[in-house]
Amino acid sequence: MKKSTYLIVFLVLALSGWSCSVYQTMVNISRLKFKLDQVSNFQINGVDVSNKAKLKDFSAVEILKISSSFAKGKLPASFIINVQAKNPNDGSGGYPSTNAVIKSFPWKLIIDDKEIISGNISSPVSVPGTGEVTVIPIQLNIDLMDFFKDKGYESIINLALNIGGYKSSAMNIALLARPTVSTVIGNITYPGELKIVSYQFTE
């Protein structure tokens, strides 16, 4: 067999193996899963609501601080949405153990089916291939009046309590995100947005 034939066969085999490796890497990366955890450190105009379940739990001073801001047409809020990232590539199930680094995580916050704000992570997040959960904290600062002024004072406060108060849940919020993950063959961006919710990991 001529040397050129050997070279062609070698290149075909090498490229075939590389293609399989690329495909397997993409499959592994696509198995990363995300879920919303609890919202933490929710404050309205500097008043902490994370230890409150209803309007009666606020002190007179706190009510005055919030209502005064509302009367001026503003209700600045700050809170942290904690996103759980799970890397199931732990070496079981026929997949090799694969660590992942999320390089970019552009997201959009949805509250009550309304798009509120968008952003991205400030630095890469490592998600080890151990099957354990890594938490990605996303800090938000918004003015509730910009989006919910039609709800009225009590409705807005109750919305905040439902999201970030005592015994709250993230049932009425969601994130749309399109992660970019670093791999041995370069960065891979998910083909479409993932809808991340609190009641199940993304599939």
Rounded to an integer, what distance in angstroms lies between the CA atom of residue 70 and that of residue 89? 48
> For residues 165 and 4, which has the higher predicted lDDT (pLDDT)?
165
Task: Copy the structure tokens of residue 16.
Answer: 């075939």
**What mean pLDDT, rounded, does the chain reach?**
83
Residue 150: predicted pLDDT: 87
Residue 91: predicted pLDDT: 65
pTM: 0.78
pLDDT, tens digit, for every residue of 99-123?
889 999 999 999 988 899 999 999 9
Residue 6: predicted pLDDT: 45
26-42 mean pLDDT: 80
Q: How many residues does the chain have?
A: 203
Q: How many CB atoms lie within 10 A of CB 104?
A: 16
Identity of the amino acid at 42: F
Identity of the amino acid at 1: M
**Confidence at 21, pLDDT banded by 50, 70, 90:** very low
**Confidence at 30, pLDDT banded by 50, 70, 90:** low
Residue 168: predicted pLDDT: 79
Q: What is the largest CA-CA distance in the chain?
A: 92
Q: Is the dihedral of CA 35, 40, 44, 45 positive or negative?
A: negative
Residue ranges per structural domain of the chain? 3-196
Rounded to an integer, what distance in angstroms lies between the CA atom of residue 70 and that of residue 86? 40
**Does residue 67 surpass a pLDDT of 90?**
yes
Rounded to an integer, what distance in angstroms lies between the CA atom of residue 43 and that of residue 89? 37
**Does residue 8 surpass a pLDDT of 70?**
no
Residue 7: predicted pLDDT: 45
Percent of the chain with pLDDT over 90: 55
Residue 3: predicted pLDDT: 46
Residue 183: predicted pLDDT: 74
**Confidence at 11, pLDDT banded by 50, 70, 90:** very low
Residue 36: predicted pLDDT: 94
Beta bridge partners of 118: 108
